[in-house]
Amino acid sequence: MTDYTPTPADRFTFGLWTVGNVGRDPFGEPTRRPMSAPYITQKLAELGAYGVNLHDNDLVPLGAGAPERDRLVDDFRQALSDHGLVVPMATTNLFSDPAFKDGAFTSADARVRAYALQKTMLSMDLGHELGAELYVFWGGREGSEVDASGKLLDSLGWLRDSLNFLAEYSQSQGYGYRFALEPKPNEPRGDIFFPTAGSMLGFIPTLDQPELFGVNPEFAHDTMAGLNFTHAVAQLIDAGKLFHIDLNDQKPGRFDQDLRFGAENIKAAFFLVKLLEDSKYGGPKQFDAHALRTEDENGVWAFARGCMRTYLMFKEKARQFDQDGEIQAALSAYRVTDPALEALSRGFSPERAAALKAQSFDRAALGARGPGLEHLDQLTVELLLGVR
């Protein structure tokens, strides 16, 4: 690989809502015209993407009748097959309709919760029709501004009941979905329930079929809160729960910017790509981002091309990192091995415990050692800036 041109083997995906974003924000009207799903499919295929994901209403508008729905689905399927793209993931829009203004599965109104289940089942039917195997739940409206509602503990139970119901629905229909829960700390709610990957990891074992549920973390969501996204992803990999990933970029402490991948935090994006590649993560890599509101359609495709190209450049840098003799020497110098002590420390036995308690350590030497992290980090920066 020398020119960083993506191919479907890279498994890059975009949501219809990402490149289709028309540039509306809370202060301004759209700056771009909507594009049809077949057109987006054609353009993403030309750029080398692998797939395209959707919410139900990205394709079928709310309130569309059966004939309109079927025509839209047929046209989209035709475009997918004409251009060789797949739909690996589907999800439900449970946030735009005012019916969901105080939550969907966690609404205090039982009618809203039932409607959310109905809408999600219909959306799961649609996703299955399009070949999706993964189903995402992003609880954009599942949260609050006012905790006087007294519904916090009830909300957790309502969400649990809904996810259990929907997992069984998928099985009863033979859909075979795996599910990925997407955390976000805030926006559009003042506080969203389950703000971090860790809170999702804590919740999943309380579900009836935890093996069907994993996490869909998003770079921007952790970064908004000042957290280290790469650390969250490592924890998900360790737990076997990285089912999907949303790549984008973000300045900390702001609204959800959904910037082009690698646009802002170059070092963090590099270590994320390195982690994904080193761990052999094989799932789709979705760019859940959008072009700046300033851009026209050309800017949208420049944005999409840029996301994929930057990922591939970081992948190449990760390869160079592994082959750079000086970097590898700094890495080896950083780790101190001691086979005898490691054998004593791994796996409890009364003898090992006694031997460790009897061991004497040179604390002053341990504290005095310089691990060489400044040198290692500078080498990384030089690699990323292209001077190595």
Residues of this chain that interact with ligand GLT (CB under 6 A) are: 17, 55, 91, 136, 138, 182, 218, 246, 288
Which partner in Mn ion, ligand GLT, none is near 203 (CB below 5 to 8 A by kind)? none
Beta carbons of 143 and 187 less than 8 angstroms apart = no
For 285, list phi and psi in degrees, rounded to 5. -115, 105
Q: What is the Cα–Cα distance from 332 to 321, expressed in whole angstroms?
A: 13
For ligand GLT, the closer of residues 120 and 380 by Cβ is 120
Beta carbons of 120 and 142 less than 8 angstroms apart = no
Cα separations (Å) of 147 from 162, 190, 193, 196? Answer: 22, 11, 12, 19
For ligand GLT, the closer of residues 258 and 324 by Cβ is 258
User: 58 catalytic, yes or no?
Assistant: yes
Shortest Å, Cβ 58 to ligand GLT: 9
User: 278 catalytic, yes or no?
Assistant: no
Q: Determine, following the binding rule CB under 5 A, whether residue 256 of this chain makes contact with Mn ion.
A: yes
For ligand GLT, the closer of residues 177 and 321 by Cβ is 177
Judged by CB under 5 A, the stretch of 124-132, 271-279, 285-293, 377-385 that binds Mn ion is 285-293
Beta carbons of 264 and 249 less than 8 angstroms apart = yes
Judged by CB under 5 A, the stretch of 4-12, 65-73, 114-122, 243-251 that binds Mn ion is 243-251
Which partner in ligand GLT, Mn ion, none is near 142 (CB below 5 to 8 A by kind)? none
Q: Which one from 3, 10, 25, 55 is the annotated catalytic residue? A: 55
Beta carbons of 327 and 380 less than 8 angstroms apart = yes
Cα separations (Å) of 229 from 221, 372, 373? Answer: 8, 24, 21
Beta carbons of 234 and 197 less than 8 angstroms apart = no
Judged by CB under 5 A, the stretch of 21-29, 76-84, 213-221, 231-239 that binds Mn ion is 213-221
- Which of 318, 361, 314 minimizes the C-alpha distance to 340? 361
Which partner in Mn ion, ligand GLT, none is near 17 (CB below 5 to 8 A by kind)? ligand GLT
Cα separations (Å) of 134 from 53, 165, 355? Answer: 10, 16, 50
Judged by CB under 5 A, the stretch of 121-129, 250-258, 263-271, 313-321 that binds Mn ion is 250-258
Shortest Å, Cβ 158 to ligand GLT: 19
- Alpha-carbon torsion (34, 116, 105, 214), positive or negative: negative
Residue of 222, 249, 258, 264 interacting with Mn ion (CB under 5 A): 258
Q: What is the Cα–Cα distance from 349 to 351, expressed in whole angstroms?
A: 5
Q: Determine, following the binding rule CB under 5 A, whether residue 249 of this chain makes contact with Mn ion.
A: no
Q: Which one from 10, 58, 246, 258 is the annotated catalytic residue? A: 58
Q: Active-site residues: which are they?
A: 55, 58
